[in-house]
Amino acid sequence: MKELIRKLTTISSPSGREEQIRNIIREEIKNYCDEVKEDTLGNLIAIKRGGETKIQFAAHMDEIGMIVTDIDEKGFLRFGNVGGVSPHRLFGQRARFQKGTIGVFGAEKIDNIKDLTLDKLYLDIGASSEKEAKEKVSIGDIATYYHEFSDLGDRVIAKSLDNRIGCAVLIEAMKRATNPQNDLFCTFTVQEEVGLRGARTSAFGIEPDLGIAIDVTSTGDTPECERMAVKLGQGAAIKIKDRSLITHPQVRDLLTTLSEKNSIPHQFEVLPFGGTDSGAIHLTRAGVPAGVISIPCRYVHSPSEMIDLKDVEAAVRLAVAVMENKVEL
C-alpha cells in the first residue's frame, strides 16, 4: 500500500491535466473490473458488476496547481491558482511542471508578510531570458508542488495526498472486493479542486442509485487548531456534513452499521468548510443519496500532507464492505 501511495503522489497531475495519473490508475485497476471507460471531461470510470444497485464511488485524481499566465522578458513566470492555493504556503517552495521543469517561488519586496498575495509571487525556473523560459514552459502550463514522499512508519508525508490517498483506497478496495453485490462504478474524477466538475458530469452519465466519495478531511488534533472531532489514526471518518453536502441519513446509517458489524475503526466528521465530489453527485438529475468515506489528513493543500495508514486500512475495509454488501435503499 505504501508503495502505491508513493507512486501516486510522485505524479504531477493538476486539475484539467490529469492524463498522467489517469494512465497510472488505469494500469493498476484494469484487471480488477469488467470494463474501463473515459468520459468527455476525462473521468476514468471502472465498472465492476455484481448486483442491482448502482453505486458510484468517486475519488478525485486531480491536485491543486499553479497555472502560468505570463512570462516576462527576464524569464520569470507569473501564475494564477488552480484550486485552493495559499500564497504563504507557496513562498520558498518548489514546483514542477508535467514535462519535468522545476522552479522555486519567489516574492516581490513586501514590508509585511500579511500583504503577500499570489500576484506578488513569481516562479523562477532558472531561465535567464524570456526565450529560454518559453523553451521550457508555455502560458497555460500548470505546475504542482514538488516535494518528496517521506515514510514515517505508520504515517507518511507527501504532496497531493489530497486526493491520491482516496485513489489508493479505491484502487485497493477494487482489488480486494472479489465478490461485489452491487454494480460498482468506480470513478476517478477530474477537476474536483476547481469545483467538483468531473463528479458532476460523471454522475449525470452514470445515473447512480447511491454515491460515495472517498476523499481526505481535515483534523482537529494539532496544537491550537480549529476545533474539530476528527483525529489522525482514529479510523475512517464517516462524513455527516460539509459545505457541499449533508450526508443522506440512510447512507450515514449504512456506513455506520457496516463499520460496527465488521469492527472497522471509524469516527464521525463534521467539516465546517470545504466540499467533496458527493456534493455534486447528490444534486445530479433528480437527486442521489450520497455520503463520503473520509481519510483524516493534516496540512491539507500544503506540499507536505500527512496521513495515517491505520485510517487508510479502515477506509479500504469500509469501502469493500459497501461493495460486498447487497445495498438496498
Determine contact, residues 218/250, Cβ cutoff 8 Å.
no
Query: Which residue out of 63, 192, 269, 324 is catalytically annotated?
Result: 192
Interhelix angle 161-176/309-323, rounded to 10 degrees, is 50
Q: CB 42 → other proteins: shortest distance, Å?
A: 8
The distance of closest approach from Cβ of residue 160 to other proteins in the complex, given in angstroms and rounded to an integer, is: 17
Which residues are near other proteins by CB under 8 A? 15-17, 39-41, 43, 67, 69-70, 72, 78, 80-82, 119, 139-140, 191, 194, 197-198, 200-202, 204-205
C-alpha cell at 257: 452499521
For the beta carbon of residue 2, count every other beta carbon within 10 angstroms: 12
All cell numbers assigned to 299: 496540512
Instruction: Give the nearer residue to other proteins in terms of CB position, either 18 or 215.
Output: 18
Cβ at position 209, least distance to other proteins in Å: 17
Q: Whose Cβ is closer to other proteins: residue 15's or residue 234's?
A: 15
Rounded Cα distance between 20 and 286, Å, is: 34
Q: Are 312 and 169 contacting, i.e. CB atoms less than 8 angstroms apart?
A: yes
For residue 112, the Cα-to-chain-centroid distance in whole angstroms is 33
CB of 244 to other proteins, least distance (A): 15
Nearest to 8 by CA among 31, 34, 27: 27
CA distance 23 to 60: 14
CA 280/CA 301 separation, integer angstroms: 21
Closer residue to other proteins, CB minimum distance, 80 or 233: 80
To the query of whether residue 27 is one of the catalytic residues in this protein, the response is no
Q: Which amino acid is at 191?
A: Q
The minimum distance between CB 284 and other proteins, in angstroms, equals 10
**Closer to other proteins by Cβ: residue 254 or 280:** 280
Residues annotated as part of the active site: 192
